[in-house]
Amino acid sequence: MKYVVFILKSLLNSLMSARVYLLLKRSRFSNSNNWNIFFSIKKVVLIGPAEEYNTELEEALKECDIIVLVNKGYRVPLFDKFNSFGKKMVLFHCLDENEIGGCGGLNKQELLAKGITDIFYPLNEKKLAHNVLAFLKKHKTDFNLYWIGRTEYKILKNGIFGFVPNTGFAALFGIHHNGCEWVYVHGLTFHRTAYLPEYGNDGEDLKRNIEFIERARNHNPDMDWKFFLKLHGKGRIRTSPLLTKVMALPYKQLFYTRKHSA
């Protein structure tokens, strides 16, 4: 009986994935996995949820070509400050609109009012295809959706030993992989520091955040962190004061350290 249930679930997931790809082929999103038109030879600032605005970020914003926000980043009070630099802004989002445990809602009116029409989906997981389908059904042609290619995503997945990457790191990988001139990383610390309060309370308590991630067993920010360090060694990645400080610390495993998590 368990085997039959497993087979049925597998078939359902395959049909869901096939339906999503069919919709993509029939939509304006069909050729949208060519990210280098945005990031190749571009100066990029990637803003995550774990660092206050500072002079280093301000200087990078003055110099960059494009600003990348992640998940709830378009909703923070500092958005107007980011927007004041007059640079192209895009949003990377996991398309799971759950406020707790997901990436937060996508408010069409707010996004369009703020001039954000390009949304990047940096995952390519069959088991998450329902999130893509929900986005397409809900927003139709409101936004341009750019989905990471399967080959590119496979490189990322192999680099973190099969885990699903966090949105921020998947964004960084995609930007770097597609030939940016440089990417300045601000507020992305791989869960090694807490989130700012304005990004929601799901990341402010580090201990609770680690426990939540371990229960889901999809992500492993330790693997993201190790792969990030390899990418950093290849150049073209500039780091904020906080991330630079975190990188100088001795490595410590934070996730899946307890016996029941092994």
pLDDT of residue 30: 43
pLDDT of residue 197: 81
Q: For the chain, which domains are there?
A: 40-261 (3.90.1480)
**Whole-angstrom Cα distance, residue 207 to residue 245?**
20
Q: Which residue has the tokens 């400050």?
A: 81
Q: What is the pLDDT along the chain (262 residues), one digit of tens a residue?
A: 655 545 656 655 555 556 655 555 555 444 456 798 999 999 999 999 999 999 999 999 999 999 999 999 999 999 999 999 999 999 999 999 998 878 999 999 999 999 999 999 999 998 888 898 888 888 878 899 898 988 999 999 999 999 999 999 999 999 999 999 999 999 999 999 988 887 765 555 777 778 878 887 899 999 999 999 999 999 999 999 999 999 999 999 999 987 544 4
pLDDT of residue 31: 43
b/e for 181-203, b at 16 or more Cβ within 10 A?
A: ebbbbbbbbbbbbebbeebbebb
pLDDT of residue 23: 58
**Whole-angstrom Cα distance, residue 45 to residue 85?**
12
Secondary structure (DSSP) of the chain? -HHHHHHHHHHHHHHHHHHHHHHHHTSTTTTTT-THHHHTT-EEEEE-SS----HHHHHHHHH-SEEEEEGGGGGSTTHHHHHTT--EEEEE--S---SSSS-----HHHHHHTT--EEEE----GGGHHHHHHHHHHHTTSSEEEE--HHHHHHHHHHTTTPPPPHHHHHHHHHHHTT-SEEEEES--TTSSPPPGGG-GGGT-HHHHHHHHHHHTS--HHHHHHHHHHHHHTS-EEE-HHHHHHHTSPP---SS-SGGG-
pLDDT of residue 225: 98
pLDDT of residue 198: 75
- AA identity, residue 92: F
pLDDT of residue 2: 56
Q: Which residues contact 157 (CB under 8 A, 6 or more apart)?
A: 163, 164, 165
pLDDT tens profile 190-244: 999 988 887 765 555 777 778 878 887 899 999 999 999 999 999 999 999 999 9
